[in-house]
Structure 1
Amino acid sequence: MVGKKGKKASQWIVFAVLVVISVLALAPFAFMVISSFKPGQELLRNGVNMEINLDAMSWKNYWTLFTENNGIYLHWFKNSLLITGMYTGFSLFLSSIVGYGLAKYDFKGKNLVFAIVLLVMMVPVEILILPLYKLMISMKLIDTYLGVVLPFMVSPFAVFFFRQSSVSIPKDFMEAARIDGCGEFRIFFSIMMPLLKPAFGAMMILQAMNSWNSLVWPLIVLRSTEKLTLPIGLASLITPYGNNYDMLFPGAVMSIIPIVIIFMLNQKAFIEGLTVGGVKG
């Protein structure tokens, strides 16, 4: 009886701790949502707070967000969606093929290639910015979407993750498919990709978040105001000459929606993928 009571008490303690952590994690988002309905002048006077004054709050900021400067926010939103879609799609496709090849095929230099992948994971992105920038200039990809996507199209972390996920899949599936006359590409697309669905779900969330929140590299490559992404556009609303809170807070709230949708659609696969990706190869 004492054991059951102690177990139940520990469960309540864990639950209470998780509730506290959840509240602390959601508090900044709550501040942001409430502030998005307040006039910018009030935020300048009183700062960001949780005070809810229904008389002062309205949907005007959201209307301003989509109408000011000829709807420039919609251009930023569209650019981020396009770049994130391109980056996530190419990254998942190419990284999964490389990771699968490193896990299931034996070839000369295989261990060296995998060691290079691990080494690149340890290199800070900031070190690569200058040579990558010179490369984009030589390829005439400055101020283009492809210039933002191309340098990081194959993610070392994604390659490592797919490699670890592929290691856990028995080679018997591949051998059976070869006996039935399947080619190597058909084996990957028809057999391995469905088995790697949890890994794809996890990587889709992580890669989409990485691209959606990227600031430094798009800021370096992009030039035209119409081609800027959301992080750059929202950052431009804060200047030494004034802060456009009327657009900043509702814009930040709207920018969260695509990532939330992606996470909700891939939540189950995300949890399963993190577990499968932890298999030691």
Structure 2
Amino acid sequence: MTVKARVLSVIVIVAIAVIACLALFPLITLIVSSFRPSSDLMRNGITLSFSFRELNLDNYFHIFRQADHYWTWYGNSLIISALTIVLSLFFSSMVGYALAVYQFRGRNVIFILVLLILMVPFEILMLPLYRLMTFLGMIDSYIAVILPMVVAPVAVFFFRQYALGLPKELMEAARIDGCTEYGIFFRVMAPLMLPSFAAMAILQGLGSWNNFLWPLVVLRSNSMFTLPIGLSTLLTPYGNNYDVLIAGSVMTVLPIVILFLFFQRYFISGLTVGGVKG
């Protein structure tokens, strides 16, 4: 490696390190603030200006001992996110796979419709979706939050692009062996699509976990709130529960970190391969 290449490599590493520090600064500030007394948070706000002698675990003890609603919201978010991930991966992968490997009338029309829906902001679709949930009597339920996200256009598009690169010879060999079309997908093709499943699991899980607007529209009772909605209710004109809000916000990061660590092995390969095939 030449001197010029080494210098460029060092510059790139330093630049990436600086960008990483800037990106992590809000998270570090939030984590440090979660150990500060609530009175100090009320007085000085979220800042890195603090005294080490004042840091304690009281905010976390308060969450585990007294903040009952917080764990109800946490459980709701876990259930909704888990069901959204499983159902979205199942149905979106089948739709994307069918659009990629089968020739049938209207295939291109369906794919164009998927692309068109991708261009429409979700805020425009909220009113008809809300009227549909009201008509079906599903307001203030898990299914009202999950159902519109089951077949995500972005996931359909991603799985289609990934499936276009799958070897078609394996399908023919499976048919010769007497395998059904469902068997071909679940037993032959789905294992080859594991990187795409991992990538979409992270992206769909992140989107569902952080989703605020749609659950806010369809959920009514406090016992059904998800974490983003529940935490937002802690800030009121009559009092701000910073002890639960800050420490609770730190706790909300853990499932996404665990999800990423679990699927990171396949995440990059799933995104890159899915992005260049087709």
Report what 2:32 is aligned to. 34
The 5 Å alignment of 1:14-93 reads 14-69=12-67, 71-93=68-90
Q: How many Å separate the matches in 2 of 1:280 and 1:271?
A: 14
Deviations 1:146-192 (A, max 9, x none): 11101121000000000000001121010011011100001000111
Q: Distance in 2 between matches of 1:51 and 1:265?
A: 35
Aligned to 1:270: 267
Q: Aligned Cα RMSD in Å? A: 1.0
The alpha-carbon deviation at position 266 of structure 1 amounts to 0.7
Greater shift in the superposed pair: 161-170 or 37-46: 37-46
Residue 168 of structure 1 contacts residue 279 of structure 1 at CA under 8 Å; is this kept in 2? Answer: no
Query: In the TM superposition, what is the alpha-carbon distance from 1:58 to its structure 2 partner?
Result: 0.9
* Letter paired with 2:126: I
Query: Is the contact between residue 66 and residue 72 of structure 1 (CA under 8 Å) also seen in structure 2?
Result: no
Give how far 1:57 is off: 1.3
> Which residue of 121, 129, 133 maps to 2:126?
129
- The amino acid that maps onto 1:131 is P
Aligned AA (2:43): R
Which string of whole-angstrom CA distances, capped at 9 and with x for unpartnered residues, describes residues 189-230 of structure 1?
Answer: 011111000000100000000000000111111111111100
Q: Residue 96 of structure 1 corresponds to which residue in structure 2?
A: 93
Distance 1:191 1:140 in 2: 40
- Listed as ranges, the gaps of 5+ residues in structure 1 are none
CA distance in 2, matches of 1:239, 1:35: 20
Following superposition, the deviation at residue 67 of structure 1 comes to 2.6
Residues 140-179 of structure 1 aligned to structure 2 (within 5 Å): 140-179=137-176
Q: SS at the partner of 1:55?
A: helix
Find the aligned partners of 2:114 and 2:277 in 1 and give their Cα distance.
Answer: 16
Conserved 8 A contact 1:76-1:233: yes
How many Å apart are 1:66 and its aligned residue?
2.4
**Corresponding letter in the other structure for 2:227:** L
Identity of aligned residues (%): 51
Structure 2: segments with no counterpart, 5+ residues: none
Residue number among 4, 7, 19 corresponding to 1:6 in the alignment: 4
**Deviation string for 1:10-41 (max 9, x for gaps)?**
00000000000010011000000000011121
- 1:31 maps to amino acid: T
2:217 & 2:117 partners in 1: Cα distance?
Answer: 21
The reply to whether residue 185 of structure 1 matches residue 144 of structure 2 is no
CA distance in 1, matches of 2:140, 2:44: 39
Residue by residue over 1:211-269, the C-alpha shift from the partner in whole angstroms, topping out at 9 and shown as x without a partner, is: 00000111111111111100001111112222211111100000000000000011121
Partner SS state of residue 12, structure 1: helix
State the one-letter code of the partner of 2:208. Answer: S
**TM-score between the two structures when normalised by the length of structure 1:** 0.97
Q: 1:191-230 residue pairs with structure 2 within 5 A?
A: 191-230=188-227
Quick one: distance in 1 between partners of 2:127 and 2:139? Answer: 13
Shift of residue 55 of structure 1?
A: 2.0
The counterpart of 2:248, out of the listed 241, 251, 273, is 251
TM-score (norm 2): 0.98
How many angstroms apart in 2 are the aligned matches of 1:173 and 1:53?
A: 64
